[in-house]
A and B are shown apart, each in its own frame.
Chain A
Amino acid sequence: MPKIEEKLIDKDGIRIGGRKFNELRPTKIQVGVLNNANGSAYIEQGKNKILAAVYGPHEVHPKHLALPDRSRLRCRYHMAPFSVDERKSPAPSRREVELSKVIRESLEPSIFLEYYPRTSIDLFIEVLQANGGTRCAGITVAALALADAGIPMRDLTVACAAGKVEGQLVLDLNDTEDKKGEADVPLAYMPNLNAITLLQMDGQLTLEEFEKAINLSLEGCKQLYNMQKEALKAKYVVLKEEVKE
């Protein structure tokens, strides 16, 4: 067991940072933040700062990767060297390769890829600052970048983690809670279709705890889903006001 120097949850059930067990970190989302990309979005979830950009659908390079019946979704999850305490080499780590794969697979079910055969949709997620839960925040912001690029989708994918810290199930773990806690369950979800498109877990949970953790993450997903929709609308409200002037 890891040694716990300071309590992560106090006697009133308040976590470090002042949150309750089912409370998300303060989250800000913005859509359409980059000029060159077809779609882009930015999220701040606690100390996480993540940018996502979408290019495409466009011609695939190299050409032999083109699929005859649908578009090829490509995804790169990448962390900036300065995003963590100790400098991270900019070369893609094994963790980043795995996360790129699971993030791509979490978003693919939401996109009508069959509308754009022989093309590719390239998605780039850049973690500028990481403080736990970046794969989930990355998915939440990437779905918005895809929507901003005008790519037809079945639903907005949204992601959030739940975990176990000092014997208690909590929502949206930060870095300290993740490292010192007993378990972490990241999950991505399409609320309108009731479909879970990413599920991972590390740590140790009984079946009962696991079920509770899933339900807790789903609650978090639903809250974030509303913020996603608000952020998407906000972009167009601003445009309309500009037109009035």
Chain B
Amino acid sequence: MSMIIRVKQKQIAQLMAKGKRLDGRELNDYREIKVEMGVIEKAEGSARVLLGKTEVLVGVKIEVGKPFSDTPNEGVLTVNAELVPLASPTFEPGPPNENAIELARVVDRGIRESKAINLEKLCLEPGKKVLVVFIDVYVLNHDGNLIDASAVAALAALLNTKMFKYDVEEGEIKVKPGYTPLPVQSYPIAVTFAKINDKLAIDPWLEEEQVMDSRLTITIEKDGKICAIQKGGTGYFTTGQILEAAKIAKEKASEIRKLVVKG
């Protein structure tokens, strides 16, 4: 930890002890979330999310592919995340590093475990042909809490996704004119906490992430059940802190969900 960060940590921790934060928020306040859907016309679905200054673009592409042998009747979901070098001085070009892989896998876990996409409806020919949904997370500006921003963006992009219509004739797939929406049936929302000096703050921005001891992400699906959890960072949590975080996450998730799911 560099000297500057150590000084910052002291300042942030002192503020948090009084229930305040450097950017004026309270401990359980999110930054402003803006969601814009359908920003990339060539993608089957897309969304751009601003979480404060953190900016994430998600594109969904759909292709025909082979199912996994253990789920012959289900479509395939894959999530990939790119920490694009233009988003932060700390991002470097090259294959995804462990942070990018973790980000993609946490977003993936939320969507998969909540059964957000009805994968059975994406089967074209059992065991042979299914639709493959590619979710690509593109981080454009890193100002902390990439997980929550990416999860919201991925969900918004899925809700915005249109599949091509098709007929299956003698094993051949005939694409028909027109589009139908992707069968989305749950709405997972990730809520992340940073632990700094034994206090938890929701939606950490970059300066808080740099000094945090550990991180806890809890993903809540539409009927309030927990569907994914990931602890990160080199610190620890107590049982009490985890259960308290889970309770807050449930409340916050239903607020955030309203921004993406209308009606």
Q: Give the interface of A toward B (CB within 8 A).
A: 69, 94-95, 97-98, 100-102, 105, 108-109, 185, 190, 193-207, 210-211, 214-215, 218
A70: nearest chain-B partner, CB-CB: B1
Note all chain B residues with C-beta closer than 8 A to A102: 102, 230-232
Contacting A at CB under 8 A, from B186-235, are: 214, 216, 221, 224-235
- Given A204-B114, A205-B225, A210-B226, decide whether A196 and B247 contact each other with a Cβ distance below 8 A: no
**Could you say which of B114, B228, B236, B250 has the most chain A C-beta atoms within 10 Å of its C-beta?**
B236
A-B contact pairs, 15 of them (CB 8 A): A105-B214, A105-B231, A105-B233, A185-B229, A193-B236, A196-B239, A197-B231, A198-B231, A201-B229, A202-B112, A202-B113, A202-B228, A203-B113, A210-B243, A215-B239
| B1 adjacent to A69 (CB under 8 Å) | yes
Note all chain B residues with C-beta closer than 8 A to A199: 216, 229-231, 237, 242
Note all chain A residues with C-beta closer than 8 A to B242: 196, 199, 214
Note all chain B residues with C-beta closer than 8 A to A198: 231
Note all chain B residues with C-beta closer than 8 A to A97: 98, 101
Contacting A at CB under 8 A, from B55-81, are: none
Note all chain A residues with C-beta closer than 8 A to B231: 102, 105, 196-200
| A202 adjacent to B109 (CB under 8 Å) | yes
| A101 adjacent to B98 (CB under 8 Å) | yes
| A94 adjacent to B233 (CB under 8 Å) | no
Note all chain B residues with C-beta closer than 8 A to A98: 98, 101-102, 105
What 1/0 mask marks residues of chain B from 23 to 65 whose CB sits below 8 Å from any chain A CB? 0000000000000000000000000000000000000000000
State A207–B242 Cα separation when bound (angstroms). 11
Interface residues on B, range: 20 to 34
**3 A-B pairs with the lowest CB-CB distances in the bound complex, closest first:** A195-B236, A201-B229, A199-B231
B135 to chain A, nearest CB (A): 14
B239: nearest chain-A partner, CB-CB: A214
| B250 adjacent to A195 (CB under 8 Å) | no
State A202–B238 Cα separation when bound (angstroms). 20
Besides the known contacts A202-B113, A207-B246, 4 further A-B residue pairs in the complex with CB atoms under 8 A apart: A193-B236, A196-B239, A199-B230, A201-B229
Note all chain A residues with C-beta closer than 8 A to B224: 206-207
